[in-house]
């Protein structure tokens, strides 16, 4: 097995998809000639040519909308939003146009496009370039949202997204791009959208998480006295209720670990569903570990505190397991 950078998994997924399906095209700012601001599209232009790997002007609405039009007319556009915040100037095309295409044509037309975006915090990009923002998309009828967590899930989710007959958003935690890990490519490998994975078995509590927080949860579980099960949710919408419910059925405790403030995090929906499904059978209240309700700070010490660390997660889960009460987050007591 070879070690690769996670950004190479993106590249490999895109390259393989373009080889397998001539209708796949890419659009984005500096993805072609420059190989991408994060080098995840390096070499695609040379391999597939300028008609399929397309540098766009700084016009998110134009190329997001062009992806909708191309998708409706039989192409498979993959759009890169360099930082997910940039879709703030073009959200309409995705959530209002692409997502309603099938409905407004009674199933005759669809917009099978993929929006890939780097997302999340941890590298000092400041508060306008460090959010996950999945809440802008999650729960939009007709749209799917998934988050990658390592090389394997990056490859598996991207391939599935590109093959999906409906629009899909793939959020790629930017901080992972420069991580190296062992990974053997298998070009037939797919992760079905809507399926979660148990990435660590445990008995005391289930942490449901996604993205770069999966590593944090695993590290917390390794170091913790509690025996923690970790689920990588992978697809945030529609999410895998069955896998989560079964796990929580076994462990009796649900913890969500979210890279988002509580007010917009996906954990609300997960907890609200499981609280119903497992009513009366949980050992402890469901518990959400989220970001504080504040913009992402630039300073490194602050940003490191802002994001849940393995130690903090372990501490929170241990408190939950040992007291069966929800521990308070650090920032209420801190302020």
Active site (catalytic) residues: 129
89 counts as binding other proteins under rule CB under 8 A: yes
Nearer of residues 101 and 196 to other proteins, judged by Cβ: 101
Judged by CB under 8 A, the residue of 203, 285, 305, 319 near a copy of itself is: 285
For the record, the structure tokens of 114 come out as 């993929």
Q: Is 2 in the site for other proteins (CB under 8 A)?
A: no
178 binds, among ligand TPP, other proteins, a copy of itself, none (CB under 5 to 8 A by kind): none
Residue in the shown chain whose Cβ atom is closest to ligand TPP = 86
Q: What residue has token string 């993205």? A: 211
Please choose, from the candidates 198, 188, 204, the residue with its C-alpha nearest in 3D space to the C-alpha of residue 233: 198
| Contact region with ligand TPP (CB under 6 A), list: 81-89, 157-165, 217-225, 232-240 | 81-89
141 binds a copy of itself (CB under 8 A): yes
- Residue 132's CB is within 10 A of a number of other CB atoms, namely 26
Contact 117, 83 (CB under 8 A): yes
Q: Name which position in 6, 297, 316, 320 contacts other proteins (CB under 8 A).
A: 297
Is 201 a binding residue for ligand TPP by CB under 6 A? The answer is no
Locate the DSSP E strands across 127-238.
144-147, 168-173, 180-182, 197-200, 205-209, 228-232, 235-237
289 lies in the site for other proteins, by CB under 8 A: no
Give residues 287-326 in contact with a copy of itself (rule: CB under 8 A). Answer: 287-288, 293-295, 326
User: What distances in angstroms separate CA 236 from CA 59, 64, 171, 309, one per listed residue?
Assistant: 27, 21, 10, 22
Q: Is 58 in the site for ligand TPP (CB under 6 A)?
A: yes
Distance between CA atoms of residues 329 and 93, nearest Å: 37
235 binds a copy of itself (CB under 8 A): no
Q: Is 294 helix (H, G, I), strand (E, B) or coil?
A: coil
CB of 90 to ligand TPP, least distance (A): 8
201, 178 Cβ separation under 8 angstroms: no
Binding flag, residue 246, other proteins (CB under 8 A): no
Least gap, CB of 65 to a copy of itself (angstroms): 10
The pair of structure tokens assigned to 22 is 């001539």
Residue 60 binds to ligand TPP (criterion: CB under 6 A)? yes
Can you tell me which residue has the tokens 């915090």? Answer: 121
* Comparison of 34 and 201: residue with beta carbon closer to other proteins: 34
Residue 263 CB, shortest distance to other proteins, in Å, is 12
Phi, psi of 276 (to 5 degrees): -75, -50
Residues near 250 by beta carbon (within 8 Å), at least 6 away in sequence: 203, 206, 229
CB 115 within 8 A of CB 64: yes
260 in contact with ligand TPP (CB under 6 A): no
Nearer CB in complex with ligand TPP: 90/314: 90
Looking at 38, 86, 136, 237, which residue binds ligand TPP (CB under 6 A)?
86
Rg of the chain over Cα atoms, rounded to whole angstroms, equals 20
Site for ligand TPP in 13-52 (CB under 6 A): 29
């Amino acid at each position: 097995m070879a070690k690769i950078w996670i950004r190479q998994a993106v590249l490999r997924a895109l390259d393989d998809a373009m080889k397998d399906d001539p209708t796949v095209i890419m659009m984005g700012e500096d993805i072609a000639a420059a190989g991408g601001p994060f080098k995840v599209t390096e070499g695609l232009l040379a391999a597939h040519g300028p008609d399929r790997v397309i540098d766009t002007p700084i016009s998110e609405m134009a190329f997001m909308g062009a992806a909708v039009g191309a998708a409706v007319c039989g192409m498979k556009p993959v759009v890169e939003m360099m930082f997910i915040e940039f879709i703030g100037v073009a959200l309409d095309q995705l959530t209002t146009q692409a997502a309603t295409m099938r409905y407004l044509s009674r199933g005759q037309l669809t917009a099978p496009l993929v929006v890939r975006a780097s997302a999340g915090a941890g590298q000092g990009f400041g508060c306008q370039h460090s959010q996950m923002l999945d809440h802008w998309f999650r729960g939009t009828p007709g749209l799917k949202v998934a988050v990658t967590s390592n090389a394997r899930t990056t490859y598996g989710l991207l391939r599935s997204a590109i093959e999906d007959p409906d629009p899909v958003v793939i959020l790629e935690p930017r901080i992972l791009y420069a991580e190296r890990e062992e990974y053997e490519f298998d070009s037939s490998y797919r992760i079905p959208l809507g399926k979660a994975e148990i990435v660590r078995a445990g008995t005391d509590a289930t942490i449901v998480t996604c993205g770069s927080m999966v590593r944090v949860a695993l590290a917390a579980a390794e170091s913790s006295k509690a025996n923690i099960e970790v689920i990588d949710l992978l697809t945030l919408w529609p999410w895998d209720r069955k896998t989560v419910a079964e796990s929580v059925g076994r462990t009796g405790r649900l913890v969500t670990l979210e890279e988002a403030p509580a007010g917009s995090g996906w954990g609300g929906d997960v907890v609200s569903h499981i609280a119903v499904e497992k009513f009366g059978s949980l050992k402890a209240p469901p518990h959400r570990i989220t970001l504080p309700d504040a913009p992402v700070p630039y300073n490194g010490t602050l940003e490191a505190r802002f994001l849940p660390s393995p130690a903090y997660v372990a501490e929170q889960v241990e408190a939950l397991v040992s007291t069966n009460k929800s521990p308070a987050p650090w920032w209420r007591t801190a302020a």
